[in-house]
Amino acid sequence: MVGREEQRAKAVERLSAHVLATGLSQTSLRQLASAAGVSDRMLLYYFSDKNDVLVTVLGSLSADLAQRLALAFPETQILPVSELAVRLTRELLSDNHRPYIRLGVEIMSAAARKEQPFMLLSEGIRATFIQWIVTRMDAPEGSDREAVAAILLGLIDGLVLIGACVEDDLVERAIETIPALVGR
């Protein structure tokens, strides 16, 4: 016997890697169980149901990304909108972080169709991110900081979508074009 909590934690770890790599479309109970290296029966022993699995795993991934971003962008460093836009976009579209954003887009897209539990998850992701941007952004006087943050977040999500289905360097060129287009 190895202990239920311990096994559960190990499952979350393996499932996080699986979901990050394959997205929300490969998340039947048997697929998840196989990725976790256990039987579907045991997965439902560790978790109360499939929803519980997804919420736990996606929550864990969300925390991971927050921690990674905290490392890359210390809270003390305030940047002008244009520079923050470029650096944040480049960081989140890098191979390191793009899988997270891609997954976030899938979650938000599912939320748009009122599917549970994605509405709750996506609302949390959005709020966290906007707040995160607002605290690190040196926006012009009197501007709607949340709105500017929404534009940035939207741009990043959108570029991930575009980059997902295209072979050439269009997205990279778009990032390079941001400074000429934004602010000043």
Partner DNA sequence: AACATAATGTAGCAGTTGCTACAAGGATAT
Partner DNA sequence: ATATCCTTGTAGCAACTGCTACATTATGTT
Q: Token pair for residue 125? A: 């992701």
Which of the residues 36 through 75 are near DNA (CB under 7 A)?
Answer: 38-42, 44-45, 49-51
Residues for the chain: how many in total? 184
| 8-state DSSP, 117 | T
Binding map of a second copy across residues 12-31, x = CB under 8 A, - = no contact: ----------xx-x------
DSSP, collapsed to helix, strand or coil, labels residue 39 as coil
Binding map of a second copy across residues 155-184, x = CB under 8 A, - = no contact: xxxxxxxx-xxx---xx-xx-xxx-xxxx-
Q: Token pair for residue 12? A: 């979350």
Q: Which residue, 153, 41, 139, is CA-closest to 93?
A: 153
Compute the chain's Rg from CA coordinates.
Answer: 18
Residues in the site for a second copy, rule: CB under 8 A? 22-23, 25, 81, 102, 105-106, 108-113, 115, 119, 122-123, 126, 130, 140, 143-144, 146-148, 150-151, 153-162, 164-166, 170-171, 173-174, 176-178, 180-183
Residues in the site for DNA, rule: CB under 7 A? 1-4, 7, 27-31, 38-42, 44-45, 49-51
